[in-house]
Structure 1
């Protein structure tokens, strides 16, 4: 079941996504999300994702909602994060013309996506050798 953010009403596909949304927004922006967590889930910063999600579900302020992903092809059980770390919601809106991106906004989006792809290549995601990176560093070390 999906949940609405009790602060900004942004829909989240499940309780884990809600916990991450609230925590990341609180850490990055402070403000209302942080104030809400401080009031309703004291010590939230010490919780892992699953613990915070469970705590949030116990609160009356967290409401179940219908999520747009439920009506699309594949439901919340099929929700996955793309390896290229692209945002499918942004991509689909842009391709349908719903986003009404001007040329500058499209350029920024394209540049961000290219930088994300480059970061993946640096981390070895695109080369398939991400697991080998740690071996080179530890071969010369002794305890």
Structure 2
């Protein structure tokens, strides 16, 4: 890949703002395992190799299994994910691909019933944030060392 700009070097205040979102997200009630599933799945959809590598490593540090990570791209066909995880993964896909039909009522209702209002709001913010990071990394050809 061709070398591209480094937003962190050119616009450090932008990164400080993104890290502010990360600080907020680190203190939410959303389970760590759900946070990492969101990050990995959105990154898969967005084709962000940089974030996939970072977040699969992070998930495994916190006890996620390789088997579940390998199955994540086919979660709908896998028995390895519970109802709450399925609702969050569906929400992740719909919000990540929001231009393809918005967030359907059934998806929203499933996430709301399994997470509650507060954690649903936190999950949406987690999805929005990883999508922003994916777009930065893909647009600038970031490579994880």
The TM-score with structure 2 as length reference comes to: 0.25
Give the helix-richer structure, 1 or 2.
Answer: 2
Give the strand-richer structure, 1 or 2.
Answer: 1
